[in-house]
A and B are shown apart, each in its own frame.
Chain A
Amino acid sequence: MAEIPTIAEAAALIAARKLSPVELTRACLARIERLNGTLHAFIKVTPERALAEAKAAEAAIAAGGSKGPLHGIPIAHKDIFETKGLATTAHSKVLIDHVPQADAVAVAKLAEAGTVMLGKLATHEFAWGGPSFDLPFPPARNPWDPQRFTGGSSSGTGAAVAAGLALAGTGSDTGGSIRGPSHYCGVTGIKPTYGLVSRRGILPLAYSLDHAGPLAWTVEDCAILLQAMAGHDAQDPGSADVPLPDYRAALAGSLKGVRIGFVRQFHESGNPANDAVKSALEAALPVFRSLGAEVRDAELAPLADWHACGMLIMMCEAFTLHAPWLRTRPQDYGDYMRDRLRLAAFVSAADYIEAQRARRELCRQFAATMREFDLLISAVMPSEAPLIEEMGKWASFERPSLTFPYNVTGAPALALRCGFTAAGLPLGMQIVGRPFEESLVFRAGHAYERATSWASRRPALAN
């Protein structure tokens, strides 16, 4: 097969018996074979298992036992998602021999929905340390230009989806790790509301900020995937016991009268974006207006406040869980992760609690803003993907993150394409909603995606 279908397209073809899950899986495996040596998106490929699962899916569907739109769809998992009997290393020497006894809840739910697992995907070390060249596996490369950074930490997922090595993949997001790779790699990813997807079986980075979600080619695909991944888990203390709407059905609604706030201050003064990003964001606003939405500027607390709050919480929680290994096996970490964790040792307990007090205050302010607006549009990154060699150890400390605010609030944030640079590199935007209002976030993203043509472009090497 020459074209890379979306999940929705593949599911329709499979249902109509015009596409075989085995054929689809073989096509992904062939692309992995051709491109992974350049992209390093996968750190472990499981072709025999994938083909066996695809054949089982094909037989079940032929016998009238379709499980729905994900049945027979090849995906892969970020290597911090535990997989039963298959090493889950966090891209680190520290866990190089870690073979879990059970699947992460999100992995199990996606398997129950009928997905085919192609293997495990590259990440920054323990979802924070990267891009690093001193780990057991090389860092993933951007399919739009392999000299460039994929973003992180769901780096392999962004690269794999963009190049069509998998139709989708899992990601985690503590400060922007789903949305950054979505922006730089030109794919779509959602960080859902905190607690909507169980974190059980996902190696933690920061307990109170960790979110899990999917990355895929389109908004509709993300809606399909989140439907399968979400749900209450009594064994995850942060899990939310809320009813789940039909996300895919909600895509069809109108944006008429939807109030959208544009968080201009973040990318104009908080972390100034380059002209390409600013132009792409500005150009998105009339599209939303043409779809019936009301768009005006929204004001949130200064970006540096959000960043300080999120970063100090993340540092302390990450140091706490890594301290035993850091004290006894420091040589088993890559240089970036080891030193970022070591710096975190210098944040006091009082400052951690101060950050958590600030968090409550910032969340209250955010809730007040969200009484005026139904959605926010916000920048993801201040530029297109930089060269991977330029990403220094302290880069994420030097400029405040544009994505951290929505980890601090726990609100749903979708990242999707909103343009390309003159050189053909993708650019993204965030659509942010109130907690547990993923349906509206998806509806706005889907309407925008259908009104524009950005999703028709793939990296040249994927063709």
Chain B
Amino acid sequence: MRMNGFRRACVAVLSASLISLGMQAPAAAGVVGTAEAIASQDSNARAVVDATLARADVRAELERMGVNAADVEGRLDALSDAEVATLAGQIGEAPAGGDALAVIGIVFVVLIILELVGVIDIFKKT
């Protein structure tokens, strides 16, 4: 019947659009990312790294290092969860270095000590 066909078409179009509406849902929470899947096979990785926690940690550290708040999110977004977890450790453990001049000073002190104890011989006048 003609009417029946029209109705059926309407229902089909409507349900198709409703379904596709549902399909547009952004990359859903339940899907495991490839980087995550790869990291899960790394036996060295800590079994449970709370990704949200690690990100919050690095976010705070980057800001403390003088990175503009406006730039922090973009930098974090460019990294996978496993990388953020690594970074959290690195920033925390990285020794706080002096400036270039201070290091020159240290180099010379080391040189002089090495010279005095006879390990090196670069200040010899002959």
Decide if A and B are genuine partners.
Answer: no
Residues of B within 8 A of A (CB): none
